[in-house]
Structures are given as structure tokens and as C-alpha cells.
Structure 1
Amino acid sequence: MKLTILGCYAATPRTFTNPTSQVLEIRNHHFLIDCAEATQVQLRKNKIKFTQISHIFISHLHGDHFYGLIGLISSFTLLNRTNDLHVYGPKGIKEIILLQLRYANSYTGYQLFFHELESRESEVVFEDDKVIVSTIPLKHRVYTNGYLFREKPAERKLDSNAVREHKIEICYFQNIKNGKDIKLDDGTVIPNEKLSFDPPAPKSYAFCSDTVYTESYLDIIKDVDVLYHESTFLETEAHLSERTMHCTAKQAAEIALKAHAKQLILGHFSTRYDSIESFREEAQTIFPATDLADDGKVFEF
């Protein structure tokens, strides 16, 4: 599992910082999460191929989380994209994008699918044989979701030495990988654990975008491997966090602690601060396994 931060600052783009956007690589998927201005520029800077992106997850319809979407969709067309593109986001996102395409008389040369969300409960929005993606209902000034990405358990690993020792034919290999015991011609049953190894434990990643402090989603993200959580302000500006419905670094750390997350990554920093190191210091007083996002930073888990 690999996370590339394209942008992680709040509100407006600046010369050296960008609003929210990131790419999560998990089980051969490249999921784009939020799409602020300059996202496609940041994709190029980080050498992420546009063709690798087939699913885009938008948390909410504030500009610093989706104003780069129409530009990216248009660039896909100019680059002669043919693969389908799926966009997940709040109800209204389809109308916003199609209106811009219509008045520009510029339609896509590929299939564009919108999956509009309006449920206040967590729901599965994407699933295949490797990954499942669910919403994390958040509490912000507009309808907002975070997203929980979970690997499905992988196949067991074949123990080639044990298979040769028991002279098991190749036609049974897939059954072994699927966890089944094997019965030999003489009636002997060989337990699966003697023929295979446990696969790596499935990983999980929770993206919690703009939200006021609330414990309403703790059960959804419980025991998550990596939690990315907004931390727009420090505690010295806690009054602003409540008014704007954002979190402080301390509050994000409290969420990570109560959710039993293994690792916390802070982001969505207000640009009022000269240094983001203060966010780490504040959070680590509560949750030591805290790291900071930053534009262009890559995390490998």
C-alpha cells in the first residue's frame, strides 16, 4: 500500500503548497482521492500516469477538494483516453461537471460514470475481488464523506517444498491457495497449513476529510492501519475549528487513539502557520505514531 500526497493544505493554492489531493495505490489500483486545483500538475510532478486512474473519490463540494476535477476530465479527453472513468461524490457533482462540459461543447471520448452519494450512513461504493471501499460519514458545513479502503484477504502462499514432498498434482494448487485441505489417493488428508503459508495481513486506509470533532465514525475506522485525518488548526485556534467545522491536531490524535489506529497522518493544514511541525508536536502528546503529510511526500506501508 502506497500513498502519494499531491496536496494537503486548506483553502487556497499557494506558490509552494496545494489543496487536498492524493493517490492511494492498493492491490494494483490507483485511487485518486479528492481533486483540488493543480492536481493534474502534481500528478505529472510525481510521475503518476493519468491512464492508471480509473476511480476518483470526492469527499465534498468545497472548491479546495474538487475544483481540479473538470480540468483533469478535460485533459483525459485531450490525451485520447478510452478507458472508463468512475467518479464518486456528493449528489450534484454530475450536474456541476456536465454543465461545464456542455457549455464548453467539450464532451469526453470515453465513458464517464458518476456515482452520486447522499446517504448519512456508511455504505459500500466500490468492490472487486481485491479491494472494498466504504464511505465514512463526516460532519462539515456541507454533506461530506471520508473513505475507507480495505484490502480483501489474499490467497495463501503455496509451500512448493511441501507440495513436491507429497507429490500433489498441479490441478490442486488453486484449491490449496484457497485454503482447502487435500485428500490423497490413499485417503490421507493433508491439512492446508502444512501445504501453504499465511498471506500478508490485509491492510486498510481511512481518509477523513473536513469534519468537526465527532466520535460518530469511530466504529467505522476501528483498528485501521493508517488514518489520514484533517487537522486544519492547532489548539490555540480551537475556537476557529468549531466555527468552521474543522479539527485541531490534538482532536485528530484523539480520534486516532480512540479508533485504535496503528498510524496517523495529519493534513489539511491552514496556511496561517509558518511551520507544520507544530501539528506533529501537538498530536504526538496524545498519539505518538503521528506523521505529517506534505506535498509530494510518499508513504509506503
Structure 2
Amino acid sequence: MTLQDKYERLKAIIANTGKAAVAFSGGVDSTFLSKVCHDVLQENAIAITLVSPMNAQSEMKDAEEMAQFIGITHYMVQDGEIDDVVAANPVDRCYHCKKIEFTNILEKARECNIFTVFDGSNIDDLSDYRPGLKALSELKIVSPLREAGLTKSDIRQLSKELGLKTWDKPAFACLASRVPYGEKITPLKLSKIDRSEDYLRSLGFVQFRVRSHGDMARIEVSPTEREKLFDAEKLDMISQKLKSFGYLYVCMELEGYKTGSLNREISKS
């Protein structure tokens, strides 16, 4: 199947719903999906963003900006609480988190007389540990990008053709994914991670994570960006800044950034 075939299949899936709400994070996948939904369904498509301590402030700003660019009706749903089960951070945390998040999104969609909710997961998401997919299935959330057979690479290419600046946006995930399983998640901890990553972004780093291990911040940057860190003055600046956010120790992962690196604990078990 060619890329154009997949794209046409995606539009047909969307058209068949008549009305749809997109769970919108402002990332590569949900931005592309929102754009195509708006193109196909016009005023019968909306985007819903859940605002919570789990999401980076920069991502919320991106979501607002991209929804405005697309022209899709956009709702920001506030959820300032972290559920106790999610805060305990079990290995299936993502399942519980997605169940709560998408229940809230479904409620907002129904208020708008829309009964189909889309998420932006794609074919590549099936190759990693994704307990959240079970929650989506239970709630009958539709994943049109997966159904159309689109990979991340496909979505980036089509996004570029559609003029979406997110086409080369780095992969992102909720801030809780920076905390090792079993370590309690708190708003303060998430805020430290968010501020630390914002600082690294301001220094020009593109693909990175700040993993939080108690009082220690472990920085992962993409292998191609590691040499940017090898400067004594910059290392001192980063260490001092992250310590000002509340960390006692700051270290670097020598092999660089790898998506889902904290899932190694599951493989080891």
C-alpha cells in the first residue's frame, strides 16, 4: 500500500464517522490527525486537550497554537488532580492514566453531542510497551492512524506536505514517563522535570529527557547531541540550574536518549 493509499484510507475512516473529537496533545500524531479531521469534517470535528500536572506547559501552549493554525474548534479540559493509583506509579500506570484521561475527554465530547473520540496512536506504537492501549480499547476509542496503517515516518512526511510545523517535532510523552516505576509521582516532582526540560530546550537541545530518580536528575540527550554537553562551562550551568530546581545530583546517561528507557525495569523483571 502506498503512502497516498494510506492517506485516502484515513480520510475515508474519518468521513464515515460523521462527527469526531480528537484527543489533542499538540504532538506530531494528534496535530496531523486534527488537521485531516478538520479538512474532512469541518465544523463536525473538534479537538480536546486535557490539562493536567502530567503534561508539560510547553506542550499545552503548542496545542493551543496548532489548533488555532488548523482552525479546529478546541477545548482545554482542566484536571488538576493526580489519581492515587496513578501517583503510586505501578508498571501499568499508563493504563490507569489513559482510562481517567479519556473518560474526561469522552464526557466533554458528549457535551458537544459527539460520540466518537479519536486518539493519535499509530502502527509503530504496537512495538513498545503501551498498557494505555488496553484502556483505549475498553473505552472504545478509535485509532484511525493505526487503522489506516500509518507509521510515524508516514505521518511526518504527510505533515510536511500539509504544511504542519510539527512534522519534525521531537517525540514526547507525559512527564510521568520520566519517573521510575514504583517511585511516587507528585506535582512537585513533575514540575521539577518540566522546568529542567524547559531549560535544556532553551540551550538548544532537541531530543532529550530528564529522568527523575529521587534527588537525582539523569539527563538523556540524543546520541548526535551528546557532544553539545561536553563543555565544562555548559556542564556547570546545567548542574547549577537543575539543582536550583531541587535536585541534589545531576548526571548524564552515557549512551544517550532512548525512548521508553525506563521500561528496561519491566524487561529485567
**Fold shared, TM-score > 0.5 on shorter chain:** no
Q: TM-score, normalised by structure 2?
A: 0.33
Question: Which of the two has greater helix per residue?
Answer: 2
Larger Rg: 1
Using the size of structure 1 for normalisation, the TM-score is 0.30
Bigger strand share: 1
